[in-house]
Chains A and B, each alone.
Chain A
Amino acid sequence: MLMYILRRILQMIPVFIGVTIIMFLVRSPAVVPGDPVRMLTGERDVSPAIREAVTKKFGLDQPIYTQYGKYMARLVQGDLGDSYQQRRPVTTILFEKFPNTFKLAGTALLLEAIFGIAAGILSAVKRYSFWDVLVTLSTSVLVSLPVFWLGMILQYVFGIQFKRWGLPYLPATGIGSPQILYLILPAITLASVSTAYSARIARSQLLEVMGQDYMRTAAAKGLSGGQVIWRHGLKNAMIPVVTFLGLDLGAMVAGTILTETVFNWPGVGYTIYRAITLRDWPVVTGGVIVIVILVMVINLAVDISYAFLDPRIRYRKHAS
């Protein structure tokens, strides 16, 4: 068990290094067009003296691997540099914005879990019924839906049109209080596509489980149909579903950028996006690195939790 965790962590390391190399190259003069000194001084022409000072300070005259070394050294200490635009440490900026992203992703995950699993179960239990067909078709549609378009439609209908009609409406953009009102539309948008996936997985897992022998044994013991599914079917079926949800959380954290932009939700995704338009590279690379680390950690946690959930893996040393 412990070996398993260690092995996974070890596997993560080269990937992490690779990611940092790529992000570093992305920032370096070799790749980014433009004069790095100008970038650092806010795109102004500077005197040779200042130019030299800046060059020395940021080590721009040193060979690239030294620069990388320094970069990594700062990285592991938690220093991601300062924002060109805001002249504040990147880490501070990210710290401020991350909670918003978590709130959004967390809410979306909750919605996805509840509705997706419920739809999937209903669809599997009432196979071939109207409900099953509806779920199967709507999941295909949801998967093909551009998320940002859905966001805009929701914005319009519930934010603008409802207001016109004098109905209670939801705020369409930004953040305010009570926060939950502002959270609803973006969370629904973010959750929509994932719900389709989780419903599909829940359905197929439950269908597979329903064909298993131990379900027949349970019925042979005198349990009713509903009891058989509830007690014996669900626990087996949900293990992969829970795993999927965990992985999806990682995907969501990374994918909030579109939804946040549509709703002007001040999270990390939006911040990175604005940083790109403003050419504020430290924020961009810092943000991406942090998100990548976060996703990797979440994936690791999901892997480990899977081992806990499935007794067959947890108790492997007892295997006959």
Chain B
Amino acid sequence: MVPVLEVDDLHMHFFTRDGVVKAVDGVSFTLEARKTLGVVGESGSGKSVTALSVMRLIPEPPGKVVSGDIRFKGESILAMNERDQRKLRGNRIAMIFQDPMTSLNPVYRIGKQIAEPLRLHKGLSKKEAWVAAAELLDRVGIPEAEKRAKDYPHEFSGGMRQRAMIAMALACGPDVLIADEPTTALDVTIQAQILELMQEIQARTESAIIMITHDLGVVADMADHVLVMYAGKAVEFGTADEVFYNPLHPYTWGLLESLPRHDVDEKGQLCPISGQPPSLINLPEGCAFQPRCQYAREACQRRLPGLVEIERGHLSACLFSGDKQFLAESPRCAYGRAQE
């Protein structure tokens, strides 16, 4: 089966006055229908830029795809002209953003904003689109949808606004839904509701979801596959099980270890990853994570590790991930230890 979305060794750089920012520096993944990909990483790791690159929303100066490809259902998006790309946007590939308050236009009614992609891509009349919009609002769980469609964004609560954004994204029945930190700006209880909604929608439609987040908890619930990013590079890719229970990259270990443990009665120490992510203009030689890595060896400073398939479908960008002894000697993550 042809994967719905393929990103093939993508390099997206920004050419600025101060230097070249290598925002995305070698990211690959595949996405199949009905599956969810979780993309995890710190701020600045390039997760959002990757998503925006797929949507072709990065302004092309100063950004530029230096190499690599993005394929939608086998066809290269990068090779398409602007008009064809726009036909995909909001239609076959849709995106929702982090802050629903600022992402909705305050001077237009919600119904109108949801109707817009329908009118644009499906050619619906104003009336038809409005009716469809109200239906969509209902489907995402807004009570009294027909009435509330006439409201303005500021009259909705945060959770409701995010539902409205989801409705807007789903309007044309996209094959891929990209969610960029959809719950970060919301309360914890609302978070759960939104995630549940997204799972529900996925079950009903055939959409694939890309869930970008820095919250591993969110990923654990929803993702089939996980892509871990650091400093613009993909450092690990695998199924959710593999990444959580058998992580191969020291950065992933660090992420998992830094999670506060929920099961302790006594207070333990938090183990954050020390240091700061590197500047994307001045990347260190060799492995980007090496300055902060507890297990770094001399080779890490010299050689740039690429994403290598260690086990079937499970890739890692650490030079030593294939080394059984390395993995055995270095402490495993909390989840792994719990299994033993």
The reply, when asked whether chain A contacts chain B directly with Cβ atoms under 8 A, is yes
Instruction: Report the stretch among B86-94, B228-236, B255-263, B278-286 that lies at the interface.
Output: B86-94
Tell me the nearest residue of chain B to A221, going by C-beta. Answer: B90
Q: Pick the residue among A217, A235, A239, A315 that contacts B104 (CB under 8 A).
A: A217
B152 contact from A213, A219, A239, A315, Cβ within 8 A: A315
| A297 proximal to B (CB < 8 A) | no
Is there an interface contact between A217 and B97, defined as CB atoms closer than 8 Å?
yes
| B154 adjacent to A315 (CB under 8 Å) | yes
**Minimum CB distance partner of A317 in chain B:** B155
Mark A212-238 against chain B: 1 for CB-CB distance below 8 A, else 0: 111011111111100000001001100
* Residues 84-137 of B at the A interface (beta carbon under 8 Å): 86-91, 94-95, 97, 99, 102-108, 116-117, 120-121
CA distance A319 to B157 in the complex (A): 8
Roughly how many angstroms separate A218 CA and B102 CA in the complex, as a whole number? 12
CA distance A318 to B95 in the complex (A): 28
B97 to chain A, nearest CB (A): 6
CB distance from A308 to the nearest CB of B (A): 12
A214–B156 contact, CB under 8 A?
Answer: no
B145-189 contact mask (Cβ, 8 Å, vs A): 1 or 0: 000000110111100100001001000000000000000000000
B55 interface residue, CB < 8 Å from A? yes
Chain A residues, CB < 8 A from B82: 224
Kindly state the separation between the CA atoms of A78 and B241 in the bound complex, as whole angstroms: 86
Say yes or no for B271: interface residue by CB 8 A criterion.
no
Whether A310 is near chain B, meaning CB under 8 Å from some CB there, is yes
Size class of the A contact interface (CB-based, 8 Å): 20 to 34
Check A11 for interface membership: any CB of B closer than 8 A: no
Contact A222 B87 (CB under 8 A): yes
Q: Is the CB of A220 within 8 A of B94?
A: yes
| Pair A214/B102 contact, Cβ less than 8 Å | yes
- Residue on B with the closest CB to A220? B95
Chain B residue at smallest Cβ distance from A217: B103
Complex: how many Å from CA A213 to CA B156? Answer: 17
In whole angstroms, what is the CA distance A221 to B116 when docked? 8
Say whether A70 faces chain B, with CB atoms less than 8 Å apart. Answer: no
A318 to B154 CA separation, bound complex (whole angstroms) = 8
Give the residue name and chain of the B residue nearest to A310 (CB). Answer: B107
Bound CA span A214–B153, Å: 11
Residues of A whose CB lies within 8 Å of any CB of B are 212-214, 216-224, 232, 235-236, 239, 310-312, 315, 318-320
Q: Footprint of A on B, CB under 8 Å?
A: 55, 57, 82, 86-91, 94-95, 97, 99, 102-108, 116-117, 120-121, 151-152, 154-157, 160, 165, 168
9 contacts between A and B (CB under 8 A): A214-B104, A216-B103, A220-B90, A220-B95, A221-B89, A221-B117, A222-B89, A222-B90, A223-B90
